[in-house]
Structure 1
């Protein structure tokens, strides 16, 4: 098909274990591709895509759509402007209740749980906003449904820059606290304005998706002094349209991918590290996951 049609670009939205073959087939023909998350089913497979893309110069964009979302973009700008100062701590949650009909066979098996389907998006956002992850610890549970895969997880995160984080996720709990609700950007979910992610630094704190910045009225203030609240501006674009527009620019060679294959591999490695930490009841370093996959340090 690729040889006959000679497309300008390809969207790879096949099952995860088929991403490697499809992406490399595109790369070998010089065709840029948008690969749906996760980049692959293993770090080894992801690294094969990274090598093919970087050695050939053919770009790969990974489909972590939240980086194209107006609220996440505004949060990134606020952090980059220095409004929070050096980041110290971050806490977030993704809690929603999936119906029984959602759980077809593959979603009950390894790779089909809430970590690789949902948490991977949150991990990508945290890497983009806070910085590269050093190590993780986690508890995972399948107590609600009893499937092979987890339905709930809580985790602790150590970032390379010294910031610490916590996150809880479940697809078996009723709440309004998830990006799908608070952003108003998810196509099949109701909008519930509010926040599900909280970032705190030496100069201020920010809640996302509502984009309220908190800081002291007096820059020299401390915990006994009043705080003031400022609403950060958010543009009114659409996440999925932004992602496709960006991919078209990547195809034209006008821009580099916002989420490259290597970037997508790092998000996958961190997410799989969380799964390992839950299974083995220990802290897992991202460097360990990369080393096991043969990725050079």
Structure 2
């Protein structure tokens, strides 16, 4: 396959990760890094990167773009890239509001161009295998998760990290909800209890959440950036080198025929013939082993294959990204209103704050 010529819009920390995997992959070729901030542009140029100030300066051969800018820029940059005929990956969240998400998706549809949301955790082999393994546990009953990583005190020395929109609900929850949708299916209702009692900021530091799925299953989640624990996707997967690894499962999925722990994929199932019930011990099947990959690079390579004409059922589409955004905002709205919020009830201009 001929390498896909693509640009990365945004030269910050997330942009640099995309630059790194784009350069490392044989499936892609970096044509430009778009960075409007002049001092940062000089830093990128000193690294030998093909940096430009705006989209108009991106080489004409470019066929794809990765947007790794702050969320308020996702819509304007996304529209501008689609207008140039480029396929697009937009870092999560897809946009800041549902109205913006609908506008971006409509533009991609009108142009006939691929639009994806950067929920790269789907691309891990153990995530794909987890989705497939659910057939081994019968009819889905429920899912339980705990994501709790204590962020260091100095993390909050930066003012915006203490302001509305910067808590774990809007920063971290959207990743979790996309995985839940990837595994279980559509979420139709969210309920949230919020607390800022530990850190005492305007924003929440902890949230207890409940979800209803379209297939009838229920879910519960505890998410916190104040509680110290070994339970989170990052700690379990050792994906992020700046977060200490624990290799402890943080999600449990329950079915009528057994249960599955994630991300180890430890399976609990039938130990004897007949009905599975509480008097019979469950048989534990050992965790599965998976090759460690860079899921961000896998996402970019899957993207390149789609642009080349292939099909993919793992990447997070624009509508998938909007669905994860909608239920993240529904949970935020529930925490403020004090009652459940269903899909379709989130105002189009609500941004979670």
TM over 0.5: yes
Q: Once the 2 structures are TM-superposed, how far is the Cα of residue 206 of structure 1 from its aligned partner?
A: 0.2
Q: Tell me the distance in 1 between the aligned counterparts of 2:171 and 2:348.
A: 21
Q: Once the 2 structures are TM-superposed, how far is the Cα of residue 250 of structure 1 from its aligned partner?
A: 3.0
Root-mean-square deviation (CA, aligned residues, Å) is 1.6
**RCO (CA 8 Å, sep 6+): is it higher in 1 or 2?**
1
Residue aligning to 2:223: 169
Instruction: Summarize the Cα distance change of 1:281–1:31 in structure 2 as closer, same or farther, 3 Å threshold.
Output: same
Q: Tell me the distance in 2 between the aligned counterparts of 1:203 and 1:193.
A: 26
Partner SS, residue 345 of structure 2? helix
Confirm or deny that 1:74 pairs with 2:129: yes
Residue aligning to 2:96: 41
Instruction: Summarize the Cα distance change of 1:93–1:34 in structure 2 as closer, same or farther, 3 Å threshold.
Output: same
The TM-score with structure 1 as length reference comes to: 0.93
The TM-score with structure 2 as length reference comes to: 0.79
Residue aligning to 1:98: 151
Q: Tell me the distance in 2 between the aligned counterparts of 1:107 and 1:286.
A: 28
Residue aligning to 1:255: 311
Q: Tell me the distance in 2 between the aligned counterparts of 1:219 and 1:65.
A: 40
Structure 2 unpaired stretches of 5+: 1-53
Q: How many residues align?
A: 290
Confirm or deny that 1:160 pairs with 2:214: yes
Verify the 8 A CA contact 1:270 1:286 in the aligned structure 2: yes
Verify the 8 A CA contact 1:216 1:222 in the aligned structure 2: no
User: C-alpha offsets along residues 224-273 of structure 1, whole Å, 9 cap, x if unaligned?
Assistant: 11211113534314122212222222333323571111110000000000
Aligned residue among 75, 78, 82 for 1:23 = 78
Of 274-283 and 185-194, more deviation after overlay is shown by 185-194
Structure 1 unpaired stretches of 5+: none
Instruction: Summarize the Cα distance change of 1:253–1:100 in structure 2 as closer, same or farther, 3 Å threshold.
Output: farther
Q: Tell me the distance in 2 between the aligned counterparts of 1:209 and 1:225.
A: 26
Residue aligning to 1:246: 302
User: C-alpha offsets along residues 183-235 of structure 1, whole Å, 9 cap, x if unaligned?
Assistant: 12223212211210000001110001121000111252321112111135343
Aligned residue among 302, 327, 330 for 1:270 = 327
